[in-house]
């Protein structure tokens, strides 16, 4: 609705919009239509963005640490950086490719995961514990993600020199997915829902991090 102040008007009246610009009364017409073509490519892009947005909330415990230094440097949030990094991590059939998901990146040298096993409900991960130069204080972080129920857990960090980290997993994470759940629509379409996905990275004393290392374990 247009309002009048002195000799000037502002707001919408009919198909006109009145405003003041550099002290002058101006008007413009309302657009007759808004460009919003619902093409297949555009709708796929919107769907992918929605999926990554949900995944960012499921993996927030990981990217809040893994992308923290990058967020400070770029004056952005870890959520925004996570969504930007993973916007193209999709399979041809539109599922999120969990093997390509990035929860951390940086210049710290990554270590190699040498083994990952589950005995009953205890996860044991071993990694290269060799330390070069002043990197003995680097911390090894491990995030375990269960796509079947869209939840994850960040394991307490251990020193790089430890070479091993363990975590007790909830029993429901290791149960086969019921047929009824397979037939229903999942919270987000994910590749390899029958596996646990491990995302590891290093963090230095200055909060800089390494690139993400990914390992999957079939349940």
Tens digits of per-residue pLDDT, 150-193? 999 999 999 999 999 999 999 999 886 655 444 444 568 887 77
Least confident range from 6-10, 54-58, 167-171, 182-186: namely: 182-186
**77, part of any domain:** yes
Residue 26 maps to a domain: no
Q: Give CA–CA dist 85/102, Å, rounded.
A: 7
Q: Which of 110, 174, 186 is nearest to 142 (CA)?
A: 110
pLDDT score, position 179: 53
Please give the average per-residue pLDDT across 52-72, as a whole number. 95
Helix-strand-coil split of the chain, %, nearest 5 = 25, 35, 40
Instruction: Report in angstroms the alpha-carbon separations of 64 from 80, 131, 158.
Output: 11, 26, 17
The answer to whether residue 132 sits within a structural domain is yes
Give the pLDDT confidence of 107-118 residue by residue, as tens digits: 998 889 999 999
How far apart are alpha carbons 106 and 209 in whole angstroms?
Answer: 5
Burial class (CB in 10 A: 0-12, 13-18, 19+), 12: exposed
State yes or no: pLDDT of 100 exceeds 90: yes
**Any domain includes 109:** yes
Domain containing 68: what range? 40-218
Task: Please work out, in degrees rounded to the nearest 5, the angle formed at the alpha carbon of residue 117 by the alpha carbons of 145 and 130.
Answer: 95
Percent of the chain at pLDDT exceeding 70: 79
Note whether residue 188 is domain-resident.
yes
Angle of the 78-85 helix axis to the 40-58 helix axis, nearest 10: 130
Look up the pTM and report it: 0.77
**Residue 50 backbone dihedrals phi, psi, to 5 degrees:** -65, -40
pLDDT attached to residue 216: 94
Domain count, the chain: 1
Q: Predicted confidence band at 7 (pLDDT cuts at 50, 70, 90)?
A: low
Specify if 5 maps to a domain: no
Q: Is residue 11 assigned to a domain?
A: no
Question: Residue 46: which CATH number?
Answer: 2.60.40.10
- Does 136 map to a domain? yes
pLDDT for position 33: 60
User: Taking the CA of residue 28 as centre, how many other CA atoms within 13 Å lie in the half-sphere pointing to its CB?
Assistant: 6
Q: Please tell me the predicted confidence (pLDDT) of residue 133.
A: 62
pLDDT for the residue 27? 79
Smallest Cα–Cα separation from 125: which of 65, 174, 167, 168?
167
Average pLDDT in the chain: 84
């Amino acid at each position: 609705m247009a309002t009048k102040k002195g000799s000037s008007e502002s707001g919408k009246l009919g198909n006109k919009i009145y405003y003041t610009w550099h002290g002058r009364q101006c008007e413009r017409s309302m657009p007759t239509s808004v460009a919003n073509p619902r093409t297949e490519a555009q709708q796929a892009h919107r769907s992918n963005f929605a999926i990554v947005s949900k995944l960012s909330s499921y993996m927030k415990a990981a990217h809040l640490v893994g992308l923290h230094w990058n967020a400070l440097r770029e004056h952005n949030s870890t959520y925004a950086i996570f969504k930007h990094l993973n916007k193209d991590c999709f399979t041809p059939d539109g599922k999120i490719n969990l093997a390509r998901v990035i929860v951390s990146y940086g210049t710290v040298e990554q270590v190699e995961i040498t083994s990952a096993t589950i005995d009953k409900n205890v996860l044991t991960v071993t990694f290269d514990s060799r330390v070069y130069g002043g990197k003995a204080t680097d911390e090894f972080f491990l995030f375990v993600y269960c796509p079947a129920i869209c939840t994850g857990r960040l394991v307490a960090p251990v020193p790089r020199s430890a070479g091993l980290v363990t975590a007790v997993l909830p029993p429901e994470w290791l149960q086969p997915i019921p047929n009824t759940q397979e037939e229903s629509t999942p919270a987000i379409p994910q590749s390899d829902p029958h596996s646990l996905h491990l995302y590891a990275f290093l963090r230095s004393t200055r909060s800089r991090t390494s690139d993400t290392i990914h390992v999957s374990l079939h349940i």
